[in-house]
Amino acid sequence: MSRFVRMAAPSFDRVGPIPPDSPVILSVPHAGREYPLQLRAAAAVPVASMLALEDRHADDVALAARIDETVFVQRRARAWIDLNRGEDERDPMIDDGARPIPAGAAATKLRSGLGLVPRRSAPGVAIWNRRLGDDEVRQRIVQDHRPYHSALADALAVARERFGAALLLDVHSMPPLPGGAAARVVIGDRFGRSAGGRLVHRLEGEVVATGHRAALNTPYPGGYILSRHGRPHEHIHAIQIEIDRRLYLDPGLTLPGKGLAGTAALLRRMIDAVTDELLTGGLALAAE
């Protein structure tokens, strides 16, 4: 008998229309705050110990910045399933349906416990009190992972058809980077593979114009979402935005703080800049 209950309800929210009113689509895959009963029942730690995996309230930043963009927000917690990992990035240390971890740098996250279903929430903090059956993980893929990516792909395709080019901005948050002069925003394009360079430079320019330091691809070049959806040669671009949580959360980095409005305004500037680039630069971006 299966050890889980089927969950038919969509696990993400879409804010904004299809077809989109903007060539820019926003995705917030890691801010989910729903912890299903099945997760809590199989967890070795309380929900509070899993919060480190969340991009805490990054959805609030994205939604506050939104004007007419279509936004996708995953509701279920990253501890349940990570939408920024591929379906094959399953961890054999906890997952009965996983294959052995391959060699090479591509498996670094998986070896560290941050696979499709995370094994740990922080170094030394194991999430699960038992192994997960192949059927359990497959069900999460079918009900949570595939629908989210299908919805993104459909929205991007329609936006490209309408505007000639489309851009996915994948919005994340990051813990403060070490060093007094560290970047407060990291822009990832998989080292040029998922987006046109002019779009990346426009985003970087908006960050710098507000007095913050930006970094490109280090230490966050982007993951599965960018590799799945970024196809510049087909006029569909994808860029990951990592925002320092100190910019918009309270001092304890748990709740929205005084900086949320200013951070949303920064993201709005970034959206406006790349929208202008898409609409005025058009299909020429794909050649970069």
Q: Would you say residue 234 lies in a domain?
A: yes
* Residue 7 belongs to some domain of the structure: no
- State how far the Cα of 145 lies from the Cα of 76, in Å rounded to an integer: 11
Asked, for residue 6, whether it belongs to a domain, the answer is no
**How many domains, in total, are found in the chain?**
1
CATH number for the domain including 28?
A: 3.40.630.40
The angle subtended at Cα 129 by Cα 132 and Cα 39, nearest 5°, is 65
What is the residue range of 98's domain?
12-287
Residue 99, CA atoms < 13 Å, CB-side half-sphere = 6
Query: How far are the Cα atoms of 63, 70, 146, 194, 229 from residue 159, in angstroms, in the given order?
Result: 19, 10, 20, 17, 13
pLDDT of residue 205: 98
Distance CA 97, CA 74 (A): 24
Element (H, E) at 268: helix 260-281
Pair of tokens at residue 264: 């949303």
Q: Does residue 3 form part of some domain?
A: no
Check residue 220 and give left, alpha or beta (phi > 0: left; psi -120 to 50: alpha). Answer: beta
pTM > 0.85:
yes
In a domain, residue 4? The reply is no
| Full pLDDT tens readout for the chain, 288 residues | 344 444 467 899 999 999 999 999 999 999 999 999 999 999 999 999 999 999 999 999 999 999 999 999 999 999 999 999 999 999 999 999 999 987 776 688 899 999 999 999 999 999 999 999 999 999 999 999 999 999 999 999 999 999 999 999 999 999 999 987 899 999 999 999 999 999 999 999 999 999 999 999 999 999 999 999 999 999 999 999 999 999 999 999 999 999 999 999 999 999 999 999 999 975 444 434
Residues whose CB falls within 8 Å of the CB of residue 63, separated by 6 or more in sequence, listed in order:
15, 71, 73
pLDDT at 102: 79
Residue 41 lies inside a defined structural domain of this protein: yes
pLDDT of residue 195: 98
pLDDT, residue 61, reads: 98
